[in-house]
Structure 1
Amino acid sequence: MRVASYNIRKAVGLDWRRDADRIVDVLREIDADIVILQEADKRIGARAGVLPADTLREALGLRAVDLSVREASHGWHGNLILYRDHSLVLTDAARIELPSLEPRGAVSARFGDPGLEVIGVHLALARRVRARQLAALGERIAGADHPVLIAGDFNAWREDAAIPRLLGPGCRMILPGNSFHAARPSAPLDRFVLRGELEHLAARVHASDLAARASDHLPVVLDLDWPDALKTPKPKEAKQ
């Protein structure tokens, strides 16, 4: 399974043009099964989504997890999860309230077999507030009996070993590399945290020429595999 996280800055590129088709093209380059987006909605007015949902569906096979509370929005507080529904079955979805001085929140999607829960986040700029948000997320996943992947823009400028500690036992952080600023990547703001029996195969920053222009963040990509213990045995073929 391939998972990507991408702060798309409302589809505004480094040339200050809003171009949703560029974001779609970057996602086509990555070819992920699950995509976690931040800043997928505008911040003012109707908080309208900025992506062409029909194109995502028809061209890339990606369906949005519907957690919006506004008619024109894609996601919630700009957080959006996309998934390929021809290979993944969505079994549950939820909005997660996070403590903050500004509009912030997280979104969760649970997929059947092997029961992976994906949580998309865009955390606060202030370290103290961010710590409270991480602790709140840690409380949510503390009793989970399934694998959990947290992905998004953590707004942490350094590795910050406190992140997995605040999220709780068994959490391990994956740093794909420096993803911000796209013009001169110098900070690993975008990252992943894994909890449970998931095998991390590879992680990277997607630094294509197109991605370097489409947003002020570069996407980060994580490849996963399931241990045999999590795989559902295939039915035996009947003997002829």
Structure 2
Amino acid sequence: MRFLLYNIAYGTGVGTRLHFPFPFAGHLKNTGKNLEQISDFIRSVDPDIVGLVEVDSGSFRSGNGNQAERLAYGLNYHHVFESKYFEQSMAQKVPVLNKQGNAVLLNQAFRYRRCHYFSVGVKRLVIEVGLEDVVVFLVHLSLKFRHRQYQLAELYAMVRAVDQPVIVAGDFNAFWGDRELQLFLAATNLKTANGLAEPSYPSRAPRKQLDFIFHSPEIHTTGFEIPAVRLSDHAPLIWDFEVAGIDSCRPAALQAVGGIR
């Protein structure tokens, strides 16, 4: 199976598209054209599961449409979307912010979906999606170190409550490096898909490892790549895997991704 993790930055783009005629002007522009390119990229990768961080669900910049819904429709995928801000958050009262969330796209039906909210931080959403063989958790952790540590403790409890192999993926905002996550990984016994600790941010010249895919020991990595795709300020992560006892259908799969660079 193939998992694609991508922080798409609400489709706002990079370079002059994002910063012309003034810094971060892209957050005020229509994102339709860039979203089409993101859709084309996802189609070229042909993932089974897509974790999308920073998705616009209907502000003026997305033409009042839900980006996850549009991507899922164009790709013929199922989708799960939720706002990243809990119901009582002040962000829910602010235009544009109240349309920001995360999403999971799937080329298969899911058994269940749950949305959790951490008890601290502004960004609190955890999307949990149960598939036949694995359970997927998608997160976008707080910008504050102290809040991230509290969130990781709560995420640990969510993972421990699942009796299937799990995938935990997202933008962890680990600005202090992966040592922030060592206690979480030791407690959960999860492994990283990115064995070489390749950075994914910023996409134009990656220096930081902010985006992570973790998995249970029963899940085995058969391929991993961070392609040089610059449709967002984050580069995407592509991970091929198999669950113990289930055959993989992607031999030498990542070799085919080279054409998108």
Give the match for residue 102 of structure 1.
122
* Percentage of pairs with the same residue: 26
Give the drift of 1:196: 4.2
Match of residue 177 from structure 1: 198
Deviations 1:19-45 (A, max 9, x none): 211211221222111000111126979
Query: Quick one: distance in 1 between partners of 2:11 and 2:152?
Result: 27
| Paired residue type of 2:72 | L
Decide whether aligned partners of structure 1 residues 163 and 92 sit closer, same or farther in structure 2, where only a CA change above 3 A counts: same
Q: Which runs of 5+ in 2 are unaligned?
A: 19-25, 248-261
- C-alpha change, 1:42 and 1:183, in structure 2 (3 Å) is farther
Structure 1 residue 100: deviation in Å?
A: 2.7
Once residues 102 and 205 of structure 2 are traced to their aligned partners in structure 1, the CA distance between those partners, rounded to angstroms, is 25
8 Å CA contact 1:76–1:95 kept in 2: the answer is: no
Q: TM-score, normalised by structure 2?
A: 0.73
* 1:79 matched to 2:97: no
- Alpha-carbon distance, 1:161 to partner: 3.4
SS at match of 2:6: strand
Does residue 161 in structure 1 map to residue 179 in structure 2?
Answer: yes
1:30-72 per-residue CA deviation (whole Å, 9 max, x = no partner) reads 21110001111269799965527355334x23221255689xx
Question: Which whole-Å CA distance do the structure 1 matches of 2:110 and 2:65 have between them?
Answer: 21
Q: Aligned-pair distance for 1:185? A: 1.0
* Structure-1-length-normalised TM-score: 0.79
CA distance in 2, matches of 1:52, 1:169: 30
Mapped partners of 1:128, 1:205: distance in 2 = 29
Alignment correspondent of 1:200? 221
- Equivalent pairs counted in the alignment come to 217
Please point out which of 69, 76, 81 is paired with 1:53: 69
Name the SS for the 1:106 alignment partner: strand
Q: Deviations over 1:99-121 (max 9, x none)?
A: 33313211010001x2x100111
C-alpha distance in structure 2 between counterparts of 1:186 and 1:200, whole Å? 23
Contact 1:121 1:154 in 2 (8 A): yes
Instruction: For residue 147 of structure 2, give the secondary structure of its aligned residue in structure 1.
Output: helix
Distance in 1, matches of 2:71 and 2:60, equals 24
Match of 1:117 in 2: 135
Matches within 5 A, 1:110-149: 110-112=130-132, 114=133, 116-149=134-167
Q: Distance in 2 between the 1:128 and 1:171 partners?
A: 22
2:236 paired residue number = 219
Pair 158,61 (structure 1): closer, same or farther in 2 beyond 3 Å: farther
Partner SS for 1:96: strand
Inter-partner Cα distance in structure 1 for 2:203 and 2:156: 30
Letter in 2 for 1:9: A
Name the CA distance, whole Å, in 2 between partners of 1:5 and 1:158.
Answer: 21
- Asked if 1 retains the 8 angstrom alpha-carbon contact of 2:81 and 2:102, the reply is no
Gap regions ≥5 residues in structure 1? 232-240
